Amino acid sequence: MKASVIIPTYNRSNILKYTLSSLIDQDFPSREYEVIVIDDGSSDDTREVVESYRGKLNIIYYFQEDKGFRVALARNEGIKRAKGDVLIFIDTGIVVGNTFVREHFNTHNANNTQEKYAVIGYVYGFSYEHKEGDSTPEFIDFNRPNQMIQKLKQSDYYCDMRELVYSRINDDLNSIPVPWMLFYTNNVSVKKEELIKAGCFDEDFVRWGVEDVECAYRLYKNKLKFKISREACGVHYPHERHTESNHISGKMNMRLFYSKHQDDVVELYSTCSTFAFIDDYMNYLKHREQLKEGPQFSSLLSEDAVRFLSEEISPEKNIVFGCQDGFLLDVFKSAAATESDTDLLLKAKESHSDINIHRCLGIRTPFKTKEFNASIIAGTGIVLTEEFLNLQVFEAIRVSKKVYWLKVQNCPDMTEYEYTEVKDLGNGVVLCKIGNKKPEN
């Protein structure tokens, strides 16, 4: 078996039939591909719809009890049952043309390349929300997918929302440092051996969203390249989405994603809107590269400055964001700290083994709301760009009652929050106190 098409579904039998019908007349040998429908506990006639395709498709149906949103488990059940070398994942309501399976399979096996790929198929009409009454072109006819797709290819209407990124990078997903963030399982494929090697889908994700991106992140860590296929395309059947609840679930799953992969890129990604993140993250990388080595407070602060800071900021229960080599922990007698640089973190931990120091930038932290009396934004105030610095202030305000900022000459400014200068400490360092968020214009 060369390919397995895996479709998780839940109570959408009315549009599942369009997906299954479009998979019948593929220009790929019928004995070389199978369709696996994993039912996440439907109460409608999904089983009967699937059974009606026996004899038309090499089809497998598996039902799992409805215990909430378990799409990660559903896909894993599909993987267990799959006999194909290439696993193709689509959502219920994705309608494909008759070259779909072949295009996915060939993308993995083109030119006898040794490169391993995660393939992202193009999805016309894919957006985060659809409202009843939204207009569609006259030629959108889900009963005639081949003709519909040909007309869509000649039109600039009904584009995949990721087209905003694809067109900017000329479809070269590996030209950006975060191609995994575009891997949505409404139309993707991966070789089975690579997916198993990466650990498949994480079944801890039991709410809507992010479980596919988290899986893609692990594939990326395993050195897979990412490739878009405009030919392995599908069309998204319009249906209402639970936008507000999905938004809440997505945010919760972002935190879960970060709890599993505590590094800079996931921490930053978990705080941003998807498409803004690419520019913001690339700006951050350029900023870090330009800095090479940021100034150390151990060399910037004089004895008088250290004495003033020790007296000004209470030593009771404070946290330093960006403690660098640990020097500031002695200055403030801190209870906790963050540091993202691995070498500096090791130094800080060696000299302060009794202090809770987390490896992170401090935009997402595990600390409780108002756990600290004061936060001091220090080293991270130098290495973060303006966009992310504002996000860190938000987190610092969340975890503490007061927020201070050791502002360094030529560092990014804090544009979204008011602050007052407390004292010029010399050597380009100014102690500032953060106030309220500035009113929007």
Do 3-249 and 297-437 have matching folds?
no
Predicted local confidence at residue 381, as pLDDT:
84
pLDDT at residue 375 in the model: 97
357 CB-near residues (< 8 Å, 6+ apart): 323, 336, 337, 338, 339, 345, 348, 349
Q: In the structure, what pLDDT confidence band is assigned to residue 135 with cuts at 50, 70 and 90?
A: low
Q: Would you list the domain boundaries of the chain?
A: 3-249, 297-437
Stated length of the chain: 441
Give residue 373's pLDDT.
95
Question: pLDDT band at 434, cuts 50/70/90?
Answer: very high
| Pairing, β 94-96 against β 225-236 | antiparallel
Rounded CA gap, 395 and 402, in Å? 12
**CATH number of this structure's domain 3-249:** 3.90.550.10
pLDDT above 60 for 87:
yes
Residue 23: pLDDT band with limits 50, 70, 90: very high
Q: What is the DSSP pairing of strand 372-377 with strand 356-358?
A: unpaired
H or E element: which one contains 227? strand 225-236
Task: Report pLDDT digits (tens) over 203-239.
Answer: 999 887 899 999 999 999 999 999 999 999 999 998 6
Q: How far is CA 188 from the centre of its chain?
A: 16
Token pair, residue 76, equals: 């894993």
Would you state the structure tokens that stand for residue 51, as one six-digit string? 């059974």
User: Measured between alpha carbons, how far is 415 from 407 in angstroms, rounded to an integer?
Assistant: 13
pLDDT digits over 157-177, tens only? Answer: 789 999 989 999 999 999 999
Task: Classify domain 297-437 by CATH architecture.
Answer: 3-Layer(aba) Sandwich (3.40)
Residue with tokens 């030209």: 175
The partner residues of 9 in beta bridges, in order of sequence, read 39
pLDDT at 246 exceeding the cut of 70:
no
Phi and psi of 274, rounded to 5°? -55, -55
Residue 57 DSSP label: B
Q: Which two tokens stand for residue 144?
A: 């005639």
pLDDT at 241: 59
pTM for the full model?
0.88
Please say whether the dihedral angle defined by the alpha carbons of residues 342, 346, 352 and 356, taken in this order, is positive or negative.
positive
Output the pLDDT for position 69: 86
Q: Which residues pair with 88 in a beta bridge?
A: 5, 189
Q: Is the pLDDT of residue 422 over 70?
A: yes
Task: Return the H-helix or E-strand segment holding 429.
Answer: strand 429-437
Residue 114 pLDDT class (50, 70, 90 cuts): confident
